[in-house]
Amino acid sequence: MNSILQNAAHRPWPLPDETWVMAQSWRDLLFAHWPLPAAVLRSHIPAPLEIDLFNGAAWIAVVPFRMSGVRLRLMPSVPGLSAFPELNVRTYVTCDGKPGVWFFSLDAASLTAVKVARAWFHLPYFHARMRLDEREGQIAYESRRRNSASPPASLVCNYRPTAPPQVAARGSLEYFLTERYCLYAVDSRNRLCRSEVHHAPWPLQLAEASLVVNTMTTAAGINLPDAQPLFHFSRRQDVVVWGLRPVI
* Nearest to 94, CA basis, from 183, 16, 26, 218: 183
The CA–CA distances, whole Å, from 8 to 12, 181, 245 equal: 9, 11, 21
Q: For 220, list phi and psi in degrees, rounded to 5.
A: -90, 5
Residue 40 main-chain phi, psi, to 5 deg: -65, -30
pTM for the whole structure = 0.96
Strand partners, 133: 140
pLDDT of residue 79: 65
Are the C-beta atoms of residues 4 and 240 closer than 8 Å to each other? yes
Is 21 buried (19+), middle (13-18) or exposed (0-12) by CB count in 10 A?
middle
Element holding 4 (H helix, E strand)? helix 2-6
Residue-wise pLDDT tens digits, 60-119: 999 999 999 999 887 777 766 789 999 999 999 999 999 999 999 999 999 999 998 999
Range of the domain at 31: 2-246
pLDDT number for residue 110: 94
140 contacts 130 by C-beta, under 8 angstroms: no
- Residues of the chain with pLDDT below 50 are none
Domain count, the chain: 1
Mean pLDDT of the chain: 95
pLDDT at 248: 74
Phi, psi of 189 (to 5 degrees): -100, 15
Amino acid at 108: A
Q: What CATH number is given to the structural domain containing 232?
A: 2.40.400.10
Residues 20 and 18: their CA atoms lie apart, in Å, by: 7
Q: Output the pLDDT for position 3.
A: 82
Provide the pairing of β-strand 245-246 with 125-135.
unpaired
